[in-house]
Amino acid sequence: MAKMKYFVSLGSNLGDRARHLKQARLLLEKAGSRILRQSSIYETEPVDYQKQPWFYNQVLEIEIACNPISFLDLVKDIEQKMKRRPAFDKGPRIIDIDILLAEKTVVQTQKLMIPHPRMSFRNFVMIPLNEIAPDLVHPLFHETIADLARTTGDTSSIRKVEEAPQQLAV
């Protein structure tokens, strides 16, 4: 299988949020992913269900020899290993790993939708994604991430809490 590049969003709002993001990155690498770029870590206000702790969010660009469906199985396995037990949809969680983009690939199945259908409406995704890939073009909207990040319509608060590490050469 040829290697494929993905953009994924990590989120945590329970326990040691920064440690959970780090653990998710380590488990992705242990599973064969190479992290090419990673955004700063942002603290973000919950969007759909407000009565919960604020999130730490980060976006990664990774490369792995995995098709999108297999990659989804891998990230769901990592969430299980990290003992994700969501109480209800959009509720608090130790870790949330969402596949945002898979190169120019479009996947629309019951199990998986790439590009992520709500990504362009979420500051907690678009601001960190814009930090590492502003010139990337959304495969359905044919607009750059920078342009989409300016027009999310999301008024939730977001603030940088940890600068991005030095980036690897891509």
The CATH number of the domain holding residue 24 is 3.30.70.560
Check 17, 25, 37, 93 and give the catalytic one.
93
Instruction: Tell me, yes or no, if 150 is annotated catalytic.
Output: no
Q: Taking 90 as the threshold, does the pLDDT of residue 29 lie above it?
A: yes
Q: Taking 90 as the threshold, does the pLDDT of residue 147 lie above it?
A: yes
32: alpha, beta or left, given left = phi > 0 and alpha = psi -120 to 50?
left
Check 25, 37, 96, 122 and give the catalytic one.
96
Tell me the per-residue pLDDT of 72-120, one tens digit each, with 9 for 90 and over: 999 999 999 999 876 767 778 999 999 999 999 999 999 999 999 999 9
Q: Which of 145, 146, 164 is nearest to 39 (CA)?
A: 164
Share of the chain above pLDDT 90, in %: 85
In-domain check, residue 81? yes
In-domain check, residue 168? no
Q: How many domains does the structure of the chain reveal?
A: 1
- When the pLDDT of each residue in the chain is averaged and rounded to a whole number, the result is 93
In-domain check, residue 167? no
In-domain check, residue 157? yes
Report in angstroms the alpha-carbon separations of 165 from 39, 41, 58: 8, 10, 12
Q: Cα torsion for 81, 4, 33, 87, to the nearest 10°? A: -20
**What pTM was estimated for this model as a whole?**
0.94
What residues make up the domain containing 58? 4-162
Residue 70, C-beta contacts closer than 8 angstroms, at least 6 positions apart? none
Burial category of 96 from C-beta neighbours within 10 Å (exposed 0-12, middle 13-18, buried 19 and up):
buried
Q: Taking 80 as the threshold, does the pLDDT of residue 6 lie above it?
A: yes
